[in-house]
Amino acid sequence: ELKVEQNPLFLSMQEGKNYTIYCNYSTTSDRLYWYRQDPGKSLESLFVLLSNGAVKQEGRLMASLDTKARLSTLHITAAVHDLSATYFCAVDRGTYKYIFGTGTRLKVLA
């Protein structure tokens, strides 16, 4: 059974600081996704990672995938208040049965 764990679950950080959110999954999987959700809103796709060693960057966010370690990271560089949101990773083994992590609630303090 595929399980996805994120940590930390809650993250409060100062503006300008760097931090990393971790996403571990339990079995070999083909695809890993990162999403952002603002309070009361829907999910917005951030990154799609499809191969070992994949790295993608958008603004202050960078995501990477290590399929051998079954680990993805979402790195935040020089955080700003606008990045405050809940971040989810999701994994799929190529069967379209997506399993989501429980989310990391990020609060960036001015």
Among 19, 20, 31, 93, which residue interacts with other proteins (rule: CB under 8 A)?
31
Q: Is 101 in the site for other proteins (CB under 8 A)?
A: yes
Residue 69, token pair as written in the block = 């370690």
Comparison of 96 and 110: residue with beta carbon closer to other proteins: 96
Cα separation, 62 vs 47, in Å, equals 9
The gap from C-alpha 77 to its chain's centroid, in whole angstroms, comes to 14
Q: Is 51 in the site for other proteins (CB under 8 A)?
A: no
- CA–CA distances in Å: residue 22 to residues 46, 74, 95: 15, 7, 23
Pattern 68-97, other proteins, x by CB under 8 A: --------------------x-x-x---xx
Sign of CA dihedral 16, 8, 64, 84: negative
Comparison of 40 and 110: residue with beta carbon closer to other proteins: 40
| Binding interface with other proteins (CB under 8 A) | 4, 31, 33, 41-45, 48, 50, 88, 90, 92, 96-103
